[in-house]
Structure 1
Amino acid sequence: FNEDSYRKLGGRLDVTMRTIQRASAVSHVEVTTLVVPGLSDSKEDMRRESEYLASLDPRIPLHLSRYFPCYHYDAPATPRETLFHLRDIAEQSLEHVILGNIR
């Protein structure tokens, strides 16, 4: 949940945050974060993301999805333990944190 990561992927964090804010004010919103090693697996970023979402509504569900290499991106798969640690951080602020792609 930092600007550098969003730029690497061709996006802007402020636009994403504004979209979530606007949508959550008028409808049900769920957020999914693909946890990629070295890109979106920072504990501090997860703390910022979950606290931001909780400031809008602590009931917003956050899905943390495990990354697996495919197509042109070949970083190693996200360790399961990383997802468990990030879930623990997010659950300090949010009521619903769901892990995905856990095999």
Structure 2
Amino acid sequence: MASVAQSSRPRNKKTLYHEFNQLRLFNSIETGAKMDHWHVELEGFPADAGNVMSKHGEVVGRYTCDENDYLEFIPHRETEPVVSGYMVGPFCREIAEWLDKKETQDDC
């Protein structure tokens, strides 16, 4: 899997957005897919906050991004974040894993 080169420059929302788009492009090229491997979408990213959409197009919660580019995901009907981090790719992956685990628990 291709990786996005890390630089020593400070990371801000603009660089995070650029890295996010590079990662999406690399993954699309490698898999030959048209973004269908993305399981969540951060609506309006790199905004300070926005909705998190599932792979089915359902709004499952909200994300926030502070002045230090620290991301947090707060699901609907929750008051505390369940996923947080600095890197967008792993952040989205962890949300997708959380959603899959939640769906599995709801099916039981």
Q: Please say whether Structure 1 and Structure 2 have the same fold, judged by a TM-score greater than 0.5.
A: no
Tell me which of the two structures has the higher relative contact order, counting C-alpha pairs closer than 8 angstroms and 6 or more residues apart: 1
TM bucket (normalised to shorter chain) is: under 0.3
Q: Give the structure with the larger helix fraction.
A: 1
Structure 1 or 2, whichever has the larger Rg, is 2
Q: TM-score, normalised by structure 2?
A: 0.26
Q: TM-score, normalised by structure 1?
A: 0.27
